[in-house]
Chain A
Amino acid sequence: MRFNKIRLSNFRQYRHMCFNFPKAAVCDTHIVLAPNGVGKSVLLNAINWCLYSDEPHTSGGIDTLHPTANRLPICNLSALDYAAELGEGFCEVCVEIEAEDAGVRYTFIRKARVDANTRQQSGRDVFRVKKTDLTGESVFFEDEDGQAVVNSFLPKTIREYFFFDGERLLNYFSPEESRVSMVRDSIFEIAGVNVIARADEHLQITLSEIRRELSKANPNLKAKERTYNDVLANIRSKEGEIRDLEEQIAISDKKIGELEKLINNSEEGYSANRRFDENEQHIAEYEKQLEVEKKKLVRFVRKYLVTIYLYRANADAVQYIREREENEAIQPNVDIGLIQESLDDHMCHVCKREITPVLETELRRLLEKYKANASSGVLGAIKRDVQAALNIEGFEPELSAIFDEQKRLETRIESLRKENDGLLSKIGRTFDAAAIEDWMRQKQRHLELIQSNNRKLGAYEEALNNLRRAERDAKRDYDDAVDADRALEYTKKKKDFVEKAESIVAGLQTRIVDDVKRKMQDETMRLFEELIWKKNTYDHIELDKNFRLKLYHKRDGTSCLNSCSAAELELLALAFTIALHHVSGYDHLLFIDTPVGRVSDVNRENFARKLLDVSKEKQIILAFTPSEYSDEISNVMSKSVVSSYTELKMDEDTTTEV
């Protein structure tokens, strides 16, 4: 099915608008471009309202008990004001969709009247379908009959796979049980599995009615029939118990997954917090060491300050004394007292020998000379001390060692502080040691429950096999009794025929589920690889019996769906949707509102190329915001390539216009 036209009259911000979707190019792609709030989602709601009488795409979701609560009336406000001004009691809202399927044309029209004064809808919607076949002959269907026509094309339960908001794709693979069962049920509905299941159920009912008919005609059969029916009832009951156990195991399995996620997240926070504390301890230690180094520096400064401060003056003084010595202006460093004592004792106090008269004369001469030049002796003494003050070897390595150690400690502290800033954000996702323990206990309980349920499952399956053997025996007894009564031959033939039909349909059900699953896995993976920018990253897709999707990584072969980015999930969901269309045989249009809100860069280009390719076989209507319709999209889906391009704008904040 494809849409040719959508006409909106007084529907929310649309006053009178007609969208034409002609197939004017090879690619049946249609672009609707509008800024936020101008009417893309309203257009999506208009389609839903026309076909199903509701508006599922609202910002806050619909309060099903009070669908009009906190919402403006469905009728355009200007139209209502105008109607009130003219004194008209009502204003009519109408959405009309012209569509075609295999050459047959359909017009779906829904109308509602809104009171111009109370602004409430007056009476029920009126729904009408006009079907025009290839010969041009038209048939009309009203209300419920019209709805049946819509459902024969696109049941309400599966519309989400044909008209949807791109943001919805993000929640597609949510592990929530309701979401999982919704995806599974939708797949079963779209792929025809549910139809086969209904046929099987109806054949079983028909069969039991035929058996009752046989028993009524021959009371002797009644006991045999009762026995047979009892066994059948036991089988159904046992099958139900097995299903319950399997569901319980699946629930425990899912719960374990959720708990592991919680535990892992909390463990991450827990270990981040532990690391944070360790780092804080290290920081405190390093800060202590830094204090020690600072004290060392103070001691160093104290030790060298005067020396360093007077270094120049000391060096000059030594230089001056040396120059005087060279000019012999300074006497040698001689102890005058020692000479005097040696003269007084007539014995040298240095070598302990007697002083001869010649030596005594010489010593008295020197003594007189040195006494006359006493200051030069002082200079000699100063020179020794000042020379010592100039000896500052080891000063620079000592200072460097202190500075190097300080720098090392400061760098380490800074790096630890930086790491702790990062850790804080992880710790922000709070953890609770008691909660982790509780989760671990819960996980253990569920593991034990799975073990115990698996044991029960084995016993139940054994019991079911026994019941099936009993069923075969009871049926043989019953058939023998029927055979004995030739008068029931025709009814027996019907019974045999329906039994055979039911057995074929039951087998068909299993085969079709397996077939859909296998095709969905392969097709989704193929399309996903075309859409995704990462090549050779993902290996394969697996759907479990509940059609819960698992995506396996190429490198380590583990399931990695929860590690995918929002863009990857959106593209995967899109691949899944298109695959579902292919596999199910539904060749209806695809309408996506805000299709690439979370997707950027090269992914947008892949998206545009793939959708353009798909639109060679089916109609695709895409409602973009201007920022979404970026170069990556517009270069591929240019106006010359697509079948139609419509830009919307808002007039005076009230009415949407082309």
Chain B
Amino acid sequence: MNIKNEAIREMLKDSTAGNPVMEKFLTDIIEHEYVSSQFRKFYKDAIERAVGKGEGR
């Protein structure tokens, strides 16, 4: 877990209440931001996974 600030996790949970797909997506991309500046592929795949799981349908 790269997110050191516990408040970020709590706020993420709060802001995405009732939408676990969105919570997972945002947690993944924020965790990724801690370790890499390359975002395009990671974001593209994460969006595909999230939308493929039914988000927005």
Contacts and interface: CB of A to CB of B under 8 A. Distances in A.
Given A493-B57, A494-B47, A505-B26, 9 more contacts: A148-B35, A494-B48, A497-B56, A508-B12, A508-B15, A515-B7, A519-B7, A584-B5, A585-B6
Contacts of A467: none
Contacts of A493: 51, 55-57
Given A206-B47, A493-B51, A497-B51, A196 B7 contact: no
Interface in A184-221: 191-192, 195-196, 198-199, 202-203, 205-206
A505 B15 CA distance: 9
Main secondary structure of the interface of A (DSSP, over half): helix
A70 interface: no
B51 to A, nearest CB: 5
A191 B47 contact: no
11 contacts: A148-B35, A195-B34, A196-B8, A196-B30, A205-B39, A206-B43, A504-B26, A512-B7, A512-B8, A584-B5, A585-B6
Q: Which of B4, B6, B16 has the most CB of A within 10 A?
A: B4
Chain B contact residues (Cβ within 8 angstroms of A): what range?
A: 20 to 34
A364 interface: no
A505 B40 CA distance: 17
B44 A501 contact: no
A508 B56 CA distance: 21
Interface of B: 2-8, 11-12, 15-16, 22, 25-26, 29-30, 33-35, 37, 39-40, 43-44, 47-48, 50-51, 55-57
Given A191-B5, A203-B43, A583-B5, A504 B33 contact: no
A131 to B, nearest CB: 14
A507 interface: yes
Contact of A152 (B2, B12, B16, B40): B2
B15 A504 contact: yes
Nearest to A209: B40
Main secondary structure of the interface of B (DSSP, over half): helix
Given A152-B2, A496-B56, A501 B15 contact: no
A209 to B, nearest CB: 8
B15 A585 contact: no
Nearest to B54: A493
A515 B43 CA distance: 27
Given A199-B29, A206-B47, A192 B11 contact: no
A500 interface: yes
B47 A497 contact: yes
Nearest to B43: A206
Nearest to A492: B56
Contacts of A195: 3, 30, 33-34
A552 interface: no
B34 A202 contact: no
A456 interface: no
A526 B3 CA distance: 25
Contacts of B55: 493, 497
Interface string A505-533: 10110011001100100000000000000
B57 to A, nearest CB: 7
A199 B47 CA distance: 13
A206 B44 contact: yes
A504 B26 CA distance: 9
A192 B22 contact: no
Contacts of B4: 192, 584-586
A205 B37 CA distance: 13
Contacts of A496: 56
A418 B55 CA distance: 83
A498 interface: yes
Nearest to A155: B34
A309 interface: no
Contact of A192 (B8, B35, B43, B48): B8
Contacts of A152: 2, 34-35
Given A202-B33, A490-B51, A508 B6 contact: no
A516 B10 CA distance: 13
A515 B25 CA distance: 23
Nearest to A192: B5
B3 to A, nearest CB: 6
B10 to A, nearest CB: 9
Given A202-B33, A497-B56, A505-B26, A192 B47 contact: no
Contacts of B50: 497
Contacts of A498: 47
A284 to B, nearest CB: 70
Contacts of B6: 585
Give 4 closest A-B pairs by Cβ, nearest first: A585-B4, A493-B56, A202-B39, A192-B5
Interface in A570-584: 583-584
A564 B48 CA distance: 56
Contacts of A585: 3-6
A508 B8 contact: yes
Contacts of B57: 493
Nearest to B3: A192
Contacts of B43: 202-203, 206
A490 B4 CA distance: 35
